[in-house]
Amino acid sequence: MDGLSVDIRKGETFALVGESGSGKSTVARMAVGLLPVTSGTVTIDGVSMTDVKDSAARQALRKRIQMIFQDPYASLNPRWKVSRIIAEPIHAFGLLKGEAVEARVGELLTLVGLHPDDGKKFPHEFSGGQRQRIAIARALASSAEFIVCDEPTSALDVSVQAQILNLMRDLQKEFGLTYLFISHNLAVVRHMADRIGVMYLGRLVEVSDSKAMFRAPRHPYTRMLLDAVPDLGMTGRQRQMVAGEIPNPINPPSGCTFHPRCPLANERCKREAPAMIDGVACHAVEEGRTGA
Name 67's Cβ contacts closer than 8 Å, sequence gap at least 6. 28, 32, 34, 139, 147, 148, 149, 150
Q: How confident is the model at residue 237 (pLDDT cuts 50, 70, 90)?
A: low
Check pLDDT > 80 for residue 153.
Answer: yes
Q: How confident is the model at residue 156 (pLDDT cuts 50, 70, 90)?
A: confident
Q: How confident is the model at residue 54 (pLDDT cuts 50, 70, 90)?
A: low
| Higher per-residue pLDDT: 100 or 234 | 100
Q: How confident is the model at residue 124 (pLDDT cuts 50, 70, 90)?
A: very high
Check pLDDT > 60 for residue 37.
Answer: yes
Check pLDDT > 60 for residue 234.
Answer: no
> Is the CB of residue 151 less than 8 Å from the CB of residue 184?
yes
> Is the CB of residue 176 less than 8 Å from the CB of residue 200?
no
> Is the CB of residue 83 less than 8 Å from the CB of residue 164?
no
Backbone angles phi, psi at 66, to 5 degrees: -140, 170
What is the average pLDDT across 145-169? 90
Q: What is the DSSP string of 54-77?
A: -HHHHHHHHTTEEEE-S-TTTTS-
3-state secondary structure of 176: coil
Name residue 75's amino acid. S
pLDDT for 41 equals 84
Q: What is the spatial distance between Cα 226 and Cα 242, in angstroms, rounded to a whole number?
A: 10
Check pLDDT > 80 for residue 233.
Answer: no
Q: What is the DSSP string of 115-160?
A: -GGGGGS-GGGS-HHHHHHHHHHHHHTTT-SEEEEESTTTTS-HHH
pLDDT for 207 equals 95
> Is the CB of residue 169 less than 8 Å from the CB of residue 153?
no
Q: How confident is the model at residue 51 (pLDDT cuts 50, 70, 90)?
A: confident
Q: What is the spatial distance between Cα 63 and Cα 58, in angstroms, rounded to a whole number?
A: 9
Q: What is the spatial distance between Cα 110 and Cα 187, in angstroms, rounded to a whole number?
A: 28
Q: What is the spatial distance between Cα 202 and Cα 277, in angstroms, rounded to a whole number?
A: 17
* Architecture of the structural domain at 13-196: 3-Layer(aba) Sandwich (3.40)
Nearest to 185 by CA among 243, 230, 128, 218: 230
Q: How confident is the model at residue 189 (pLDDT cuts 50, 70, 90)?
A: very high
Q: What is the mean pLDDT of the chain?
A: 88
> What global pTM score does this model have?
0.90
> Buried b / exposed e across 66-90, counting CB within 10 Å, b at 16+?
bbbbbbbeebbeeeebbbebbbebb
> What DSSP character marks residue 119?
G
Beta strand pairing call for 65-68 and 146-150: parallel
Check pLDDT > 60 for residue 230.
Answer: yes
Beta strand pairing call for 146-150 and 178-182: parallel
Backbone angles phi, psi at 10, to 5 degrees: -60, 130
C-alpha gyration radius of the chain:
21
Residue spans per domain, the chain: 13-196, 217-287
